[in-house]
Amino acid sequence: MSISKDQKPIDTGLGDRPEPDTILNGIDLSGKTVLVTGGYSGIGLETVRALVKAGAHVHVPARRPDAARKALDNIIAPEQVGALDLGDLRSVEKFADDFSAQHDSLDLLIGNAGIMACPMAKTAQGFESQIGVNHFGHFMLVTKLMRALENAAQKNGGARVVLLSSIAHRIGGIEFDDMHYAKRDYEKWQSYGQSKTAKSLQAVALDARGKELGIRAFGVHPGGIFTPLQRHLQNEEMVALGWTKEDGSPSDMAAAGFKTPTQGAGTSLFAATSPKLDGLGGLYLNDCNIAEQVAPDSADFNGVRPWAVDSEIAEQLWQETEKQIAAL
């Protein structure tokens, strides 16, 4: 396996769950153009709120633009919300084309949107929905906006892409022979884990392509947080996972270990803005730091498994993704 020598924790001085004001202290994002998918609920909303407070001009593409505008009222202007369905690559193309026609540069792209542990479904192009939305949709968005990212890097000394992965990557790697469950039985958690491994690998491969242009990319595990991401889970399942009590309230484990939505936005904000990461990229981050590499069979719920940051697997996935999109 080929893993970056930089995939190891550094001294950030932040701790593992700082609030946005601490992370962005002294960071001025005035004049920066930022795009945050899923930026109207959960940790995405808190990410947008913090970036705007730091001076950034933030755009939020949304599958439900009206709901997004309502949630973002008094945070960003209505015209900064655009229509985008990550489950339909034609929708992604249209959004990216429209955005590029209005904005020649993009300083930060945060791929925050996603779906988790949902029933078997297909995207508009026939991809299994979790990897279709979480990986393929963001892949199309990033590649279509590369010129805008490159322009920002040339003008402002760098651009960053942050893609939200998850500790669920520990469930397993990419099943290249049957990525979309055409031949094997569908299992919603395995599918979610595969899609989040893909998101991390996408950051590795993107960074390899973009670093000479000044574009750096990071995969991020935000931590455990109660957000609308759990909408497909019944309370009985969350009880079995140890997340909630029978009455639906947070379990003692969740109360002690889960982050608040503002804390959950922290690692994305760190990845997007911290000068501690200057000159670095292609890394998986958690708890506002570079994650520690752990063994493939580790039971630890922290750290990164090697298959999620391996550059050879990342390149294989990039090429396979391009091939599947080209075949549509």
pLDDT tens digit string along 54-73? 999 999 999 999 999 999 99
What average pLDDT does range 145-174 have in this prediction?
97
Q: Give yes or no: residues 285 and 153 share one domain.
A: yes
- Give the mean pLDDT of the chain: 92
For residue 26, pLDDT over 90 is answered with yes
Q: Are residues 234 and 280 in the same domain?
A: no
If asked whether residues 126 and 236 sit together in one domain, one would say no
233 has pLDDT over 50 = no
Residue 230 confidence (pLDDT):
45
Residues 200 and 300 in one domain: yes
pLDDT of residue 251: 55
Q: For 174-196, what is the mean pLDDT?
A: 97
Could you tell me if 95 and 244 lie in one domain?
no
Query: What is the reported pLDDT for 247?
Result: 63
Do 166 and 103 belong to one domain? yes
What is d(CA 79, CA 282) in angstroms, rounded to the nearest whole number?
Answer: 33
pLDDT at position 1 is 73
Q: Are residues 280 and 207 in the same domain?
A: yes
Averaged over 25-35, what is the pLDDT?
Answer: 98
* Angstrom distance (rounded) from CA 25 to CA 22: 5
Domain range enclosing 129: 20-224+262-323
pLDDT digits 0-9 by tens, 271-289: 999 999 999 999 999 999 9
Q: Which of 288, 266, 276, 286 is nearest to 50 (CA)?
A: 266
Lowest mean pLDDT among 102-116, 178-192, 247-261: 247-261
pLDDT by residue (tens digit) across 237-263? Answer: 545 555 555 665 565 555 445 798 999
Same domain for 79 and 91, yes or no, is yes
Q: What is the DSSP string of 39-68?
A: TTSHHHHHHHHHHHHTT-EEEEEESSHHHH
Using alpha carbons, list the distances in angstroms from residue 272 to 25, 269, 285: 14, 5, 11
Same domain, 188 and 81: yes
The predicted model gives 212-236 an average pLDDT of 74
Percent of the chain with pLDDT over 90: 86
Residues in contact with 27: Cβ distance below 8 Å, sequence separation at least 6, in sequence order: 54, 273
* Same domain (yes/no): 142, 247: no
Q: In this structure, is residue 196 part of a structural domain? A: yes
- Among residues 40, 181, 186, 192, the one annotated as catalytic is 192
118: left (phi over 0), alpha (psi -120 to 50) or beta: beta
pTM of the model: 0.93
Instruction: Give the count of domains, the chain.
Output: 2
Identify the pLDDT of residue 132. Answer: 98
Mean pLDDT of 81-88: 98
The pLDDT assigned to 256 comes to 45
Neighbours of 207 (CB within 10 A): 23
Q: Are residues 130 and 243 in the same domain?
A: no
- Tell me, yes or no, if 192 is annotated catalytic: yes
Q: What 3-state DSSP class applies to 225? A: strand
Is residue 227 very low, low, confident or very high in pLDDT (cuts 50, 70, 90)?
A: very low
Instruction: Write the pLDDT tens digit of every residue in 298-318.
Output: 888 889 999 999 999 999 999
Do 200 and 88 lie in a common domain? yes
Q: Is position 11 within any domain?
A: no
Which stretches of 118-183 are DSSP H helices? Answer: 129-131, 138-144, 146-156
